[in-house]
Structure 1
């Protein structure tokens, strides 16, 4: 059976590629595993990458697909902490505690590179020029989901849509894309009910700001969506 996932790292555009390049003679990565990469893992949808409370040992770089991180509240309800896409790294939050704070599960077929944290530390020690890059990556990761503190549901959803489009297609000004997660998951992440998410989508369409068909989203008035994300009222 044909598998759409390519079984080798896709290093072009990966945020961690400068680290791999430092451990590899050729920028083209002719060998499928740069020295810093411990192994290359393939996950099917719903497969777990790691569980909360597991001992921290590695960072994981997503090469293809989407990972969802979450934790469980005292009642066992899932609280989504983030969605992560190709070229993004996960596991940073465990550096301080020594254990993963959240569970990570594939919500599509996924390919990840596992990079032992000890290898990262050794590389940062031998290649000080990479220290600034590493701090930049951590800072960028911390900024994901900053809009969750927004007061209004419209502002959160507008910010979310802009964020997802930018991260799914970082090198393109994409106006149409497919949302890879369910309305329930979107609401969970934004701390809104699925019904509220649906109502806000409907309002955006009524004002002809976006068009939504199934999971496909098309930005009609991009500037208007940005204004809403910044806390302004509907234009007009």
Structure 2
């Protein structure tokens, strides 16, 4: 059995048996891992609250049979406790880690995505991440996963989207009006929305107006659900909290 240490974020947890827990981690060097934490629910001392979603840890891991590893120990590096006191920040943080879980495969390192999550959670914890920053995070995460939607040109013909653009998740983004007939699931979108999303892709951080932000939120929800095969659970939680 090989033992190693790595930096990790807790993406999600599932109770297993009477006292154990399965923990999905995003590690810096080994990518997404499913880790078995023996006695995690029974012993309050061993993991001491470390195995909670969006905790930043230093973990000691042991390879076992198959694709599962065992967590020997976990030390909290950053708990983001200020964010955990605000329901809206909790909702955004849970969405961020669920998105990372669905965009990644087991044992495929994504160090840039790890850094992206770390930066976003620190900004949430410092109350420096406004609503538009979540859209910027999503677009950056999609880019890391090779699923960047196109907003600057038609995804079908490569031409300019025009004055009456549409958006089609199945074809990867914006489509011009003539090509819209070939994209059965396309929906009309404002030119200003495509421009705003494109600026976020390019690294600009100009806040979007509330109406465009809500439309952008809906477009990305549909796009992500199409590519990962389901709607993310935390989308509903954000809606319950009242986030666009």
Tell me if both proteins adopt one fold, taking TM over 0.5 as the criterion: no
Relative to the length of structure 1, the TM-score reads 0.27
TM-score by length of 2: 0.26
Q: Relative contact order (alpha carbons < 8 A, sep ≥ 6): 1 or 2 greater?
A: 1
